[in-house]
Amino acid sequence: MMEYQLTLPTILRRAETLFGKKEIVSRLPDKSIHRYTYYDFAIRTKKLSVALHRLGTGQGDRVATLCWNHYQHLEAYFAIPCMGVIIHPLNIRLSPDDLGYIVNHAEDKIIIVDEVLLPLFEKFKHTIKVSKVIVIPNGGKQIPEEYLNYEDLVASGDDSLFEPFEGDEYSAAFMCYTSGTTGKPKGILYSHRSIMLHVMSFLLSCTGAGINEGDVMLPVVPMFHASAWGFPYSCTFVGTTQVFPGPFLDAESILQLFENEKITLTAGVPTVMMSILNALENEPAKYKLFLRLIILGGSAVPRFLAKSFDENFGIKVLHSWGMTEMSPLGSTSVMTSKLQKASKDEQYDHIAKQGLPVPFVEIRGRNEFGFIPWDGLTMGELEVRGPWICSSYYKGEETTEEKFTQDGWLKTGDIVTISEDGFIEIKDRSKDVIKSGGEWISSVALENSLMGHPSILEAAVIAIPDDKWIERPFAYVVLKEGKNFSAADLNEFLATRFAKFWIPDGYHVIDAIPKTSVGKFLKSALREKFLNEHK
Ligand code: AMP
């Protein structure tokens, strides 16, 4: 066989030569729509690469981005790794302190910042040492002189001088930090090879997304969250039309883009899609939608969400599970031939589970007695291995033992059962587990049921201390507009699904569940709140 390194320029070349006329669309911070072709994208990307090279970046250096989802961010996604440099998207929802820490820890050499995010950047710029700051002019103001203008830089590059990186496929291409809820963020490096194999797996029809050239994809998931789950790379590889929402992630703005751009495929965390479902249910006739599939991940998908999108709007949901440490794809709720013949109810039950590991991802579960049987009942921590799963954290020797087994599998921290057919169901995060009188209670199952109640918009269940049972479940709930709260009604609702001892000891109505920087429920904040209020 030929020696052919799996490196990212392969994707760029394919997009330019085969899909040159397909479109990339972005909603910009001033709400205007920018459109151009994959051909224009490829030329500008090469120019940017050449210009960055001239600024002195070389193989192995890190270039950070502090950007929303838009076409210039996509250019950086390719220009930087396609010259052997590592792109490092920063999570714009982190605190200035954390951002400063991450840039210094990663030793980023250059940073590319959206003009509209300069107020955030300016809060931590004095704490970091980067050689150049490049600003994408998307705020309508004069760029301060101390910074380089992204557009001038692109214009100055000569695309004929572009040198695609075709060196060792194991070289690092992408860097991101975990958005974890405890401790300092931890850095992870994806290689060219790991990204290419991850792309291939997502594109396989057996993972259930069926992404193709005819799709119009809008990733709501931010490009700073685990490479927007790899969509910028997989969509570019197959010539999918890509639509980027910029800073406008409210339900109304997203729904308008869904309609105007005839979006067929989208992806995001369940909390965002719940607000979209809510808006649709309030005004079912307002939007004409073309969506065929919503890919949901990042936290558990409540059953009612999949059911409501399908039954009321004819839109399918694919549930995916993964971790930043896994590039991030681990499993999907793909419908196997057996499930395709099952009743709708069984299919919705299935979509509420995390599903089948995708090709190349190997799984096993372990508890205090050893590896768990695949019986769909016994719980244990999920361990995984595969070609796009990290083997250590960047400069993080001290965490290696804690997070990896002696034979090199990643300990996910997710407590699961695995069915006879190999389907994963996450019962809890290990740190969120509720053990009451020695019995497990799944906070995830309780939350997902509560969010299926007609009055409840969001629900998070935590363990609270109890003298007799050690721990008991307690629920924080957010009501839908105009709805009233009744604990008796919620108890009755849950009693039809769960054993009596699962019913929460109490409820507290709040305005919003606190969330992490990527939209997951921040239960540590609720545990703290509970303890403060019950001293
Ligand atoms: P992150 O690296 O920030 O994406 O967080 C990864 C963690 O999010 C996983 O270990 C799970 O605990 C959780 N997670 C991701 N996807 C899902 C899902 N589909 N269902 C339940 N939990 C999920």
Closest residue to atom 5 of ligand 1, CA basis: 323
Considering the candidates 75, 169, 261, 325, report the single residue annotated as catalytic: 325
Yes or no: say if 124 and 212 are a contact pair by the CB < 8 Å rule.
no
Q: How far is the CA of 240 from the centre of ligand 1 (A)?
A: 26
Tell me: pLDDT of 399 over 80.
Answer: no
Going from the N-terminus, what domains does the chain have, and what CATH number goes with each? 9-191 (3.40.50.12780), 352-429 (2.30.38.10), 434-533 (3.30.300.30)
Q: What is the pLDDT of residue 178?
A: 86
The pLDDT-based confidence of 182 (bands split at 50, 70, 90) is low
C-alpha 223/C-alpha 73 separation (Å) is 8
**pLDDT of residue 361 exceeding 90:** yes
If you average pLDDT over every residue of the chain, what do you get? 95
> Which helix H or strand E contains 526, and what residues bound it?
helix 523-533
- Concerning whether 186 is annotated as a catalytic residue, the answer is no
- Which pLDDT band, with edges at 50, 70 and 90, does 433 fall under? confident
Whether 366 shows a pLDDT value over 80: the answer reads yes
pLDDT band at 136 (very low <50, low <70, confident <90, very high): very high
Determine the pLDDT at residue 397.
66
Whether pLDDT at 428 is above 90: no
Preceding peptide of 328 cis, ω within 30°: yes
Give the separation between CA 208 and CA 177, rounded to whole angstroms.
28
Distances (CA, A) of 95 to 114, 226, 277, 391, 530: 17, 18, 30, 27, 24
Six-digit token pair at 275?
Answer: 């607000």
Backbone angles phi, psi at 251, to 5 degrees: -55, -45
- To the query of whether residue 336 is one of the catalytic residues in this protein, the response is no
Average confidence (pLDDT) over 134-159: 96
Name residues contacting ligand 1 (CB within 6 A): 178-179, 226, 297-300, 319, 321-324, 328, 354, 412-414, 426, 429, 518
Structure tokens at 523: 């239960």
Separation of alpha carbons 402 and 391, rounded Å: 12
Residue 535, Cα to own-chain centre: how many angstroms? 36
Least confident residue range of 70-79, 169-178, 357-366, 515-524:
515-524
pLDDT-derived band at 169 (thresholds 50, 70, 90) equals very high
Asked if the model's pLDDT at residue 519 lies above 90, the reply is: no
Q: Taking residues 407-435, report their average pLDDT.
A: 93
pLDDT of residue 396: 82
Assigned token pair, 197: 């194999």
User: What single string gives the DSSP state of each residue in 94-107?
Assistant: S-HHHHHHHHHHHT
With beta carbons less than 8 A apart as the criterion, state whether 493 and 453 touch. yes
pLDDT beyond 80 at 171: yes
Q: What is the mean pLDDT of residues 441-470?
A: 92
Percent of the chain with pLDDT over 70: 99
Q: CA 443, CA 452: separation in Å to the nearest integer?
A: 14
CA 172 – ligand 1 centroid, Å: 24
Scored b (16 or more CB within 10 A) or e, 89-106 reads bbbbbbeeebbbbbbebb
pLDDT at 388: 98
With H, G, I as helix, E, B as strand and everything else as coil, classify residue 328: coil
How far apart are alpha carbons 444 and 523 in whole angstroms? 11
For this structure, is 469 an active site residue? no
Question: Do 317 and 351 form a contact (C-beta atoms < 8 A)?
Answer: yes
Q: Which of 7, 10, 57, 178 is catalytic?
A: 178
% of the chain with per-residue pLDDT over 90: 87
pLDDT for res 181: 56
Catalytic residue among 151, 184, 378, 440: 440
pLDDT at 180: 58
401 pLDDT higher than 80? no
pLDDT in tens, 467-510: 888 899 999 999 999 999 999 999 999 999 898 999 999 999 99
- Position 400 pLDDT exceeds 80: no
Stretch 92-104: mean pLDDT, rounded?
Answer: 93
Q: Would you state the pLDDT for residue 469?
A: 86
